[in-house]
Amino acid sequence: MLIRDRSTVPQKELDDKQRFKNLENAFIITENVVRYKKVIILDDIYTTGATMDACAKALHEGGVHEVYSVVLCIGRGF
């Protein structure tokens, strides 16, 4: 699974570019996720994709081959 490795500014306070920078290297995987080759990420809201992008990157770097995403809502301005 993923865990947040460091504190970050709340995404709602940032513009699009800042959101991606804010989450760079913010997530790490636990050792037990490596055994899964396909993973689904679930997020409550998709605005810029910064959270999904950061999570997918951490998972790929950890050895996951395929990452799929599911969101519950799409934010304004998307």
CA gyration radius for the chain? 13
Chain centroid to Cα 56, Å, comes to 6
Please report which residue ranges of the chain form alpha helices under DSSP H. 16-22, 50-61
pTM of the full structure:
0.85
Whole-number Cα distances in Å, 78 to 18, 45, 48: 16, 11, 7
| Residue 71 to residue 16: CA distance in whole angstroms | 18
pLDDT in tens, the chain (78 residues): 889 999 999 998 999 999 999 999 999 988 777 677 899 999 999 999 999 999 999 999 988 999 999 999 998 765
- Domain range summary for the chain, segments of one domain joined by +: 2-74
Contacts of 60 (CB under 8 A, 6+ apart): 67
